[in-house]
Amino acid sequence: MKLSIIGTGYVGLVTGTCFAEVGHHVICVDNDAAKVKMLQAGGIPIYEPGLEELVKKHVASGHLKFTNSTAEGVEKSDVIFIAVPTPPQPDGSVDLSYIERVARDIAAAMTSYKIVVDKSTVPVKTGEKVTETIKRYCPAKVEFDVVSNPEFLREGFAVGDLMKPDRVVIGVGSQRPVAAMKEIYTPFNAPIIVTDINSAELIKHAANSFLALKISYINAIANVCEAAGANVQEVAQGIGLDERIGRRFLNAGIGFGGSCFPKDLSAFIKIAEQIGYDFKLLKEVQHINADQMDRFVKKITDTLWVLRDKKIGVLGLAFKQNTDDVRSSPAIDLCQRLLKDGATLRVHDPKGMEKAKAILPNVTYVEDMNDVAEGCDALVVATEWDEFKQLDLARAKKGLTHPILFDGRNLFNPAEMEKLGWIYKSVGR
């Protein structure tokens, strides 16, 4: 099918590329000229495993094109996906001005029936506004359908999540766009759920909030475990084997971050409030997440006492493993708190260092994780990168003034660490 994607951020770029991979003809539109140039040459602006190869492959095959012109995208495709940012505003609601702008641009360029699909994460009832906007700003007065088709990809696993989705959600206001939407997704062999537009929009917020709730739940359990002398990983295993609960997203730590969960929680709470429901449960999820970081910082200060002039090695800057994304990263938040208390930091992240430099200028960036501990008073694990499990512990111990490790992601085994002579503090164990 002929598709265009407006916005080549995380969602737009991965979606467009995977659509090309299953044989669709895709035009990706972005107003950033430098980015378009880079993509046309087969380069990509983000780190995402497997993506660069696919972009190169389909730029070469001709299935994937990049342009600055929304009009070109609209004219040459039957289905137009909106994948622009929906950033948070100070009151927790979402800034929908990019969506509105793109809806107007699409409307202005439409000269025949089009399906306009919203892929960006938006509050419920946005589809109604997009429909109204297109109607109002389309001089050709052609027919169109608006569809809500939320994305569920995780950064770091985005290509895999897109190629093998658990489900595809298609929210429609009429039956007319259903066949085309199904045709787009048939190659992905996933269950397709057709709903009304409001329900589709709600599914996205409800899914992310539930996952965030799961994390806050296990973090709360971790706190009880600490008080009771139990082990949260054993508890997670014990409850997670119940299929109704599931083990995934039950990893306790310093809390969730990233550009999705914190923003989507706030947005969901806000839209619920606007339509008359006080979502207290989700407010508590936010509180637990904030407390989790406070408790971890307290663990560090309880052990190291005064942080002023202490040197601390930090492993991890990205908001989670397999990504270079440091937006709303708990690891960065932690670094900023340690710096505020007067510590100096030596930091390492397998992929996130370049992007961290803009927000954390006054720290020492260390290329090799095994050099981070050198001359430090303690080591901290802040991101769950698998490779940190391969840290040369003997060498780190030699480099530190004292063998102290604060593990905010529970990567090491407490009994083994103790046996090796470490003062080892993790979460909920």
Q: Give the active site residues.
A: 260
Q: Which stretch binds ligand UGA (CB under 6 A): 47-55, 64-72, 153-161, 418-426?
A: 153-161
Minimum CB separation of residue 320 from ligand UGA in Å reads 4
DSSP string, 332-345: HHHHHHHHHTT-EE
Q: Output 116 or 218, the one with its CB closest to ligand UGA.
A: 218
The token pair that represents 134 in the structure block: 């297109």
Both tokens assigned to 84: 């622009």
* Interface segment toward ligand UGA; rule CB under 6 A; list 77-85, 169-177, 246-254, 372-380: 246-254
Binding mask 155-174 for ligand UGA (x = CB under 6 A): x-------------------
| Distance (Å, whole) CA 283 – CA 294 | 17
For position 66 contacting ligand UGA by CB under 6 A, the verdict is no
Q: Per rule CB under 6 A, is residue 154 in the interface with ligand UGA?
A: yes
Of 420, 371, 372, 401, nearest to 304 by C-alpha is: 401
Q: What is the nearest approach in angstroms of ligand UGA to the Cβ of residue 151?
A: 6
CB of 100 within 8 A of CB of 24?
no
**Pick from 98, 137, 249, 279: which binds ligand UGA (CB under 6 A)?**
249
Residue indicated by tokens 């969901």? 268
The DSSP symbol for 24 reads -
Does the footprint of ligand UGA cover residue 257 (CB under 6 A)?
A: yes
When asked if residue 127 is in the footprint of ligand UGA (CB under 6 A), the reply is no
Q: What is the dihedral of CA 315, 13, 124, 87, to 10 degrees?
A: 50
Size of the site for ligand UGA (CB under 6 A): 22
Give the amino acid at 213.
L
| Alpha-carbon gap, residue 323 to 10, rounded angstroms | 11
Please tell me whether residue 408 binds ligand UGA under the rule CB under 6 A.
no
Q: Is 250 in the site for ligand UGA (CB under 6 A)?
A: yes
Considering the complex, what minimum distance in angstroms separates the CB of residue 162 from ligand UGA? Answer: 10
Q: Restricting to residues 170-229, which ones interact with ligand UGA according to CB under 6 A? A: 208, 211, 215
**How many CB atoms lie under 10 A from the CB of residue 11?**
24
Report how far residue 111's alpha carbon sits from residue 138's, in angstroms, rounded to the nearest whole number: 9
Q: Which stretch binds ligand UGA (CB under 6 A): 56-64, 92-100, 257-265, 349-357?
A: 257-265
Q: Is 118 in the site for ligand UGA (CB under 6 A)?
A: no
Return the range that interacts with ligand UGA (CB under 6 A); candidates 104-112, 168-176, 252-260, 385-393: 252-260
Q: Is 235 in the site for ligand UGA (CB under 6 A)?
A: no
Is 289 a binding residue for ligand UGA by CB under 6 A? The answer is no
- CA distances 164 to 1, 47, 50, 190, Å, are 19, 20, 14, 7
Q: With b meaning 16 or more CB within 10 Å and e meaning fewer, what string describes 321-350?
A: bbbbbbbbbbbbbbbebbbebebbbbbbbb
Give the interface with ligand UGA as residue ranges (CB under 6 A): 121, 151-155, 208, 211, 215, 249-251, 253, 256-258, 260-261, 319-320, 330, 384
